[in-house]
Structure formats: C-alpha cells, structure tokens
C-alpha cells in the first residue's frame, strides 16, 4: 500500500528490479479469505459472549 495511490511514476520502489506490485486484490487468495472470515466470526462470537475480540474493528 502506498501513501498516495496510484504512486507517482518516479516512486523509488518502481525502479527496483525485485519489486512486484499488485492490486489490493493480490492478497485475496482462497486461504486468506477463509482466514479472514474465520477471524471475523470468532470475534463476533467472542463479543456476543462478553469477551474481547482478538482484533478490534473501528
């Protein structure tokens, strides 16, 4: 994630031969989506039980 998106063409990372940029959906793998869904459900259930969630959502 860049501070300004899209990054300016002269951004230093874009000049690196070992830099591969992806859209935000680049992290939307089946495993990642399953993990996020599981964490959200676990946190909702924790709050309903009166416990603190693992991750606080704003």
Reported as a single tens digit per residue, the pLDDT across 19-41 is 988 777 767 889 999 999 999 99
Q: Residue 14's pLDDT band (boundaries 50, 70, 90)?
A: very high
φ and ψ at residue 35, rounded to 5 degrees: -65, -45
Residue 42 · residue 52 · CB < 8 Å: no
The predicted model scores a pTM of 0.56
Q: Say how many CA atoms lie within 13 Å of 47 toward its Cβ.
A: 10
């Amino acid at each position: 994630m860049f501070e300004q998106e899209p990054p300016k063409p002269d951004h230093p990372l874009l000049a690196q031969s070992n830099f591969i940029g992806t859209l935000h959906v680049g992290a939307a793998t089946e495993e990642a989506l399953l993990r996020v869904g599981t964490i959200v459900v676990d946190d909702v259930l924790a709050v309903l039980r009166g416990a603190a969630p693992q991750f606080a959502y704003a």
